[in-house]
Amino acid sequence: MTDDDTTIKAQQALADARFTTYWLDSLASVDDEAPLQQDIQCDLLVVGGGFCGLWAALQAREQNPERRVVLIEAKSVANGASGRPAAIMSTSVMHGIDNTERIFPDDVAELERLGRENMDGFRDTLERYHIDCDLEWGGEMKVSIGDEGLQTVEEEYQLYLKYGHEAVKLDREAVQAEIHSPIFHGGTWSKKRCGTVHPGKLVRGLKRAALECGVQICENTPLLTTRRTADGIEVATPRARITARKVLLATNAWAAGHPHISRRVAAIRDRIVVTAPLSDAQMAKIGWQHRQGIYDTRTQLNYMRLTADNRILFGGRLDYFYGNNTDPAIDKTPQPFIRLVKSFYRTFPQLVDEIRFDYAWSGPIGLTTRMAVHYQSYYDGDMVFAGGYSGFGVTASRFGARVGLAILDEQDIPETRMQFARTLPNYIPPEPFRWIGARITMYALDTLDEKGGWRKLWVAMVEKMGFPITL
């Protein structure tokens, strides 16, 4: 089949797709909480209704039920990345064990321990509040595309062994026994405390739990400005003001709350397509009995998982739009998803002629040079931005929010003394250099593996700035 034929096939397969997130579209709609209408005061204001904001509000009330906690969300809860991820759950709180070793080599053992503790706390919380969100503990698996990625999966396997994970290394035959893709030549499968979750159900469950715990949630209430007053931090919203003793900004890729935040956070888009539910015969063609969350080793990597109704969710294809645009119109059309569908075809050629895509969407990733949560303090520490989870925030956000609250409350706990909580990721150049740099980088990444050449030099330069492109 020529490349043109594949493009036509991809267009046809996307013809009936809905350009919205499957996770929310497939749930019954719920009413938003009322927007803020009158001036109020509170002890803690949380801004942003994604995982980070919801975990922060919930944990703040659990820690101190006397505390008045308010959460405001510009649109509806789960409007951002939290309503749109692949939702592969990782034990890592720093974007994977390999990234942890890259950014905090002296703290890997402790961060891994904290990650395991976080997953136990995550699970306990879901049980305590009866949050049913299709949890599947199939593990996370990194697969080598061809032989080129075998070294990467070997290194990851060694890290897993070194830091006490229950992991297995898979040769070509073993990986094929797990999932039938001709391009997977090996893998590392971490089996404990990780897997997949339905993020729409999770976010809704956390919202309910936060409300039950006494958090006041105001949706359709964007933060407009902030300023210090004698009474605290004053946050203006369209109809009313909030005076808060402390403010936690959980605005991720929007970097809302202070103009300086985006100096270290770029709003990258990541894209996902979701197939129609697979028949039993189609499932037999791919195997995937253990239903792991899977990442591959390509430079422009793909990740994939199954949904509870046996759709394949397939993601990847980063992009950047001028001015940290968090919702580009182009992502509501088939065109930007064609390359992703072609990657799907290469991964599962046995399904090419019989698969259609019901959903395609993109979501904003708050990218930093560390690719992991960091904290920016404003107004003498009374307002803290917690975010930048990049592509690993579904469960890490519980940990990130907990430490963010501790920083805000000036608690002297071991976590707040660690390097990740005390230091910042690098600056990212402002526009127009950010846009120009991102466009060249995306282009270089698309063709790096096949063509090399100047792309390698460019990518090496971007890595020098702190971005871990070839992790």
Residue ranges that bind ligand FAD, judged by CB under 6 A: 47-53, 72-75, 79-82, 84-88, 90, 222-223, 250-254, 256, 270, 272, 315, 363-365, 387, 389, 391-394, 397
- The distance of Cα 442 from the centroid of its chain, to the nearest Å, equals 19
Rounded to a whole number of angstroms, the minimum distance from the CB of residue 166 to ligand FAD is: 20
- Measured from the CB of residue 467, what is the shortest distance to ligand FAD in angstroms? 17
Q: How near is the Cβ of 8 to ligand FAD at its closest, in Å? A: 26
In order of 223, 237, 242, the CA distances from 38 in angstroms are 14, 10, 9
Provide the β-strand partners of residue 315.
Answer: 272, 303
Angle at 470 (CA atoms; ends 464, 471), nearest 5 degrees: 105
Distance CA 107, CA 370 (A): 14
Ranked by CB distance to ligand FAD, the top (closest) residue is: 393
Question: Could you tell me the smallest distance in angstroms from the CB atom of residue 270 to ligand FAD?
Answer: 4
209/186 Cα distance (integer angstroms): 41
| 3-class DSSP assignment, residue 189 | strand
Task: Please say whether the beta carbons of 57 and 398 come within 8 A.
Answer: no
| Angle separating helix axes 51-63 and 199-212, nearest 10 degrees | 30
Nearer to ligand FAD, 75 or 456 (CB): 75
Q: CB neighbours (10 Å) of residue 455?
A: 20
Supply the DSSP string of 82-150, one letter for each residue. Answer: GGS---EE-S-SSSSHHHHHHH-GGGHHHHHHHHHHHHHHHHHHHHHTT-----B---EEEEEETTTTH
